[in-house]
Amino acid sequence: MPSIPKAFNFLSEGLIGTTVKKSLKNPGKALPLWALGGMFGKELIVDPIVEAITDDPYKRMVQDSRARNAERKHLLGARMQYEDLERRMAKASMRLAALDPHLYNEVMAGRSLPKDAVVFGGQPRTDLMEELAASMAGGSFEEPMSAQDELMSELGVQ
């Protein structure tokens, strides 16, 4: 049975290409091979041990839970904004239908109509109505505030 130094020399010569004794005599030749072996050993042996010691699984679980919670809040906020926009669009289209039925019928027909015309058949242009309602809900058609209105709102008087 070979002794431990002989076995170590055999392994190091097989893995690195030189023995410890030969590398000490000619370090310039064996240094890159030792560095490569050290890097290999670091990745396979040292890094997993350090990670196992320093890594806290409970901390990772808490971080994952917080990330999921933040994502859930973001999605909920986006859904609420979308539903609010839909509600304002529906309100704007109903308001247009109540205040100016002729304009509402023209938009739904997709063309200009004579006064008090009635549309029979055809596909209603809901895409145009949705676009108009979205613009109305976004505030595109609001009148700008006058100087007096701005002053009154700054003073807190409504």
Judge if 68 and 103 occupy the same domain: yes
Judge if 95 and 133 occupy the same domain: yes
Q: What is the pLDDT of residue 56?
A: 82
Q: How far is CA 75 from CA 67, 68, 69, 70, 96, in A?
A: 12, 11, 10, 9, 31
pTM of whole model > 0.75? no
Question: In the structure, what pLDDT confidence band is assigned to residue 70 with cuts at 50, 70 and 90?
Answer: very high
Which is higher by pLDDT, 130 or 11? 130
Please tell me the distance from the alpha carbon of residue 128 to that of residue 107, in angstroms, as a whole number: 6
Which is higher by pLDDT, 148 or 90? 90
Number of domains in the chain: 2
Q: What is the pLDDT of residue 89?
A: 92
Domain that holds residue 75: 57-140
Backbone angles phi, psi at 14, to 5 degrees: -75, -40
3-state secondary structure of 109: helix
Q: What is the pLDDT of residue 72?
A: 96
Per residue in 83-137, pLDDT (tens digit) is: 999 999 999 999 988 988 888 888 888 888 888 787 787 888 888 889 989 988 8
Judge if 104 and 134 occupy the same domain: yes
Q: What is the pLDDT of residue 18?
A: 53
